[in-house]
């Protein structure tokens, strides 16, 4: 049997199905490469941020050492000033590092949840495309479409609730850290 349209050449059903299945397979392969590249980018970002913090640590350490050397040559008053400066600098740096670490962890958790949700949705769409390509007739296509739309609506609702709960929890945790001395 062949399927026809007045504006298109006649294409045998099996050839059309084979083209559709091949296209879905190529799309799935392309997505797998995209997902892998995304994960590599996320890992590179985390590595870069880690190296940035290491740089901050070394700068703070060298500043402390320089201050220590300079103040060693002064009298007891300078020593007290150095100790106060070091304590204030340590508190400032520790607060900065703590806040930055928590912010990055929160960003990573939200980003991870968004990536997982996106990945789930794309894979569901590719699976749906495969089922459509293998459908026997228009009735089966319509049934698959209705089922897919219902599943997708549930999936998106669950993902949005999860993302809302996650961001709310992270905001509450940040507020508690801000309020605690």
At residue 136, what are phi and psi to the nearest 5 degrees? -80, -35
Look at residue 17 in the predicted model and tell me its pLDDT. Answer: 79
Is pLDDT of 69 > 80?
no
96-154 per-position pLDDT tens digit: 667 777 888 888 888 889 889 999 999 999 999 999 999 999 999 999 999 999 999 99
- 23-61 pLDDT, tens per residue? 888 888 888 887 787 778 777 777 777 777 676 666 665
Contacts of 141 (CB under 8 A, 6+ apart): 132, 135
Determine, yes or no, domain membership for 135.
yes
Domain range enclosing 146: 51-179
Tokens at 62, concatenated: 């060298």
Residue 24 domain-assigned (yes or no): no
pLDDT of residue 166: 93
Q: Please indicate, yes or no, if residue 89 is contained in any of the structural domains.
A: yes
Residues forming beta bridges with residue 3, ordered by sequence position: 11
Domain assignment present for 67: yes
Asked if the structure places residue 171 within a domain, the reply is yes
Domain assignment of residue 60, yes or no:
yes
Residue 44: helix, strand or coil by DSSP?
helix
Query: What's the number of domains the chain is made of?
Result: 1
Residue 122 lies in a domain: yes
The segment with the largest mean pLDDT, out of 4-13, 29-38, 74-83, 144-153, is 144-153
Q: Decide if 148 is inside a domain.
A: yes
- Name the β-bridge partners of 12: 2
């Amino acid at each position: 049997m062949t399927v026809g349209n007045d504006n298109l050449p006649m294409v045998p059903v099996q050839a059309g199905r084979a083209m559709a299945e091949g296209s879905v397979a190529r799309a799935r392969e392309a997505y797998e490469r995209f997902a892998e590249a995304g994960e590599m980018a996320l890992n590179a970002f985390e590595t870069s941020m880690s190296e940035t913090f290491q740089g901050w640590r070394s700068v703070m350490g060298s500043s402390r050492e320089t201050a220590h050397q300079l103040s060693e040559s002064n009298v007891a008053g300078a020593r007290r000033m150095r100790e106060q400066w070091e304590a204030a600098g340590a508190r400032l740096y520790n607060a900065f590092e703590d806040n930055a670490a928590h912010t990055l962890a929160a960003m990573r958790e939200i980003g991870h949840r968004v990536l997982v949700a996106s990945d789930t949705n794309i894979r569901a769409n590719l699976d749906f495309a495969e089922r459509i390509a293998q459908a026997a007739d228009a009735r089966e296509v319509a049934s698959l479409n209705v089922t897919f739309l219902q599943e997708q609506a549930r999936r998106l609702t669950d993902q949005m609730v999860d993302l809302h709960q996650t961001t709310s929890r992270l905001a509450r945790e940040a507020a508690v850290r801000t309020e605690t001395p």
